[in-house]
Amino acid sequence: ELKVEQNPLFLSMQEGKNYTIYCNYSTTSDRLYWYRQDPGKSLESLFVLLSNGAVKQEGRLMASLDTKARLSTLHITAAVHDLSATYFCAVDKDSNYQLIWGAGTKLIIKP
């Protein structure tokens, strides 16, 4: 059974700091997704990582994928308050759009 674990589950940090969210998964997969969710809102797609060594960056967020270690990271650089949200990683079981989700990391960035 595919399991996806995120850590930390909660992160409070100051603006301007850097931090990393980790996403481990238990079986091989070649698709990993990162999403952002604001309170009461839907899921916003951030990144899709499709191959080992893939790295994608958008603004202050950078995601990477190591399929051999079954690990993805979401790195936040010089955090700003607007990045406060819950971040989810999800792994596509069998590459058929059956996403298995991590529990989410609630990120609070204090001004």
Partner 1 sequence: KAGVTQTPRYLIKTRGQQVTLSCSPISGHRSVSWYQQTPGQGLQFLFEYFSETQRNKGNFPGRFSGRQFSNSRSEMNVSTLELGDSALYLCASSLAAGGAGTEAFFGQGTRLTVV
Binding site for partner 1 (CB under 8 A): 31, 33, 35, 41-45, 48, 50, 88, 90, 92-94, 96-101, 103-104
Percent composition of the chain: helix, strand, coil (DSSP 3-state, to 5): 5, 60, 40
Q: Work out how close the CB of 43 gets to partner 1 at its nearest, in angstroms, rounded to a whole number.
A: 4
Q: Work out how close the CB of 89 gets to partner 1 at its nearest, in angstroms, rounded to a whole number.
A: 11
Which of 15/44 has CB closer to partner 1?
Answer: 44
Least Cα distance to 103 among 49, 25, 27, 44 occurs for 25
* Count of C-beta atoms within a 10 Å radius of residue 52: 11
Which of 69/103 has CB closer to partner 1?
Answer: 103
